[in-house]
Amino acid sequence: MRLMIVFEPKEYVKYLDIDKYDVQGFIYSLLKNSSLFNNLHDIVGFKFFNFSNIFPISDFEKNTLKKLIISSPNHDFIRSLYDELNKISTFRLNKYKMEILKIKVLRNKKSSKFISSTPIVLFEDNENNRYYSFKQNPNFDFFFNRLKDNAIKKYNAFYDDDFELESDLFSGFELVREVSVRVKKDGNSFIIIGSLWKNLEFELTNQNKDFYNFLFDNGLGEKNSLGFGFLNSGK
C-alpha cells in the first residue's frame, strides 16, 4: 500500500540540503502519537516501510510542486500516516517548511517487472558494515542470492510464515549503474553504496503473488526504512 504527498516548498532549498534522514525523521514524527507505531523508531529489526526520492529531482522552489511516496506492506501503517497528515497543513524537512496540497492513497497495479527507483543496498560483510560493490566484486550470483535470502527473511518475519521461493528471484535484470549516496546523521556524513536496476522480471503466480506484492511495498535489500531499494512497476 502506498501514500503520495503532494506539497509545496515555502522557500528556496537546494535539493541536497534535504537528505534521507530528514525524510525518515519526518515519517517518525507523524507516528509519535500513534498507539500502534509510536515506538517503531526504537524497534531493533525490520521496520517494513520505504519511501521514494522526493520528485521531481530538482532544487526546492516556491510555487513548485514536489511529491513523496511512502510505501509499506502494513496497511495500518499507511492509514496511520494518512490520518496524521490530515491533521496538519504544513511540515518541515530538516528546518525547511513545506505546505501540504494533497494526500492520496495509491493502489498497487499488477506487474511482472520492477524498476528500482532508489539504490538497492546490500552488505558484503555485515560485521564490518562493508557494502557490496560491483566495482570491487562483480558477482551477479552473489548479489542475487543474498538479495533473495534477504527478501524471503523479511517476508517470513512480516507474515510469520515459512515461505520458500523455488525459482530465482528474477528471471531477467538489467544493471543501470552503481551509485554512492551521501547521507548525514548527527552531524556526521557518510557514504552508502548501492545499485540501480531496471527490467527486474519475474513470473507472477498464485503461489508467489503475495511475496512479490510484499517486495513492491517493502523494497529490496538493506536500509529500506531509509529510502533504499524503493521499487516501481516496470510496466
Provide the sign of the torsion angle of the four alpha carbons 63, 5, 152, 164, taken in this order: negative
Which grid cell sits at 235? 510496466
For residues 189, 71, 211, 225, the Cα torsion angle rounded to the nearest 10 degrees is 20
From CA 57, how far away is CA 203, in angstroms rounded?
32
Inter-residue contact 163 to 102 (CB < 8 Å):
no
Select which of 21, 28, 82, 96 is catalytic: 28
Q: What angle do CA 78, 83, 85 make, to 5 degrees?
A: 95
Inter-residue contact 69 to 104 (CB < 8 Å):
no
| Catalytic residue status for 212 | no
**In Å, how far from its chain's centre is CA 206?**
25
Q: What angle do CA 130, 136, 138 make, to 5 degrees?
A: 115
Which grid cell sits at 125? 560483510
From CA 107, how far away is CA 224, in angstroms rounded?
20
Select which of 41, 96, 132, 155 is catalytic: 41
| Catalytic residue status for 75 | no
Q: Which active-site residues does the annotation give?
A: 28, 41
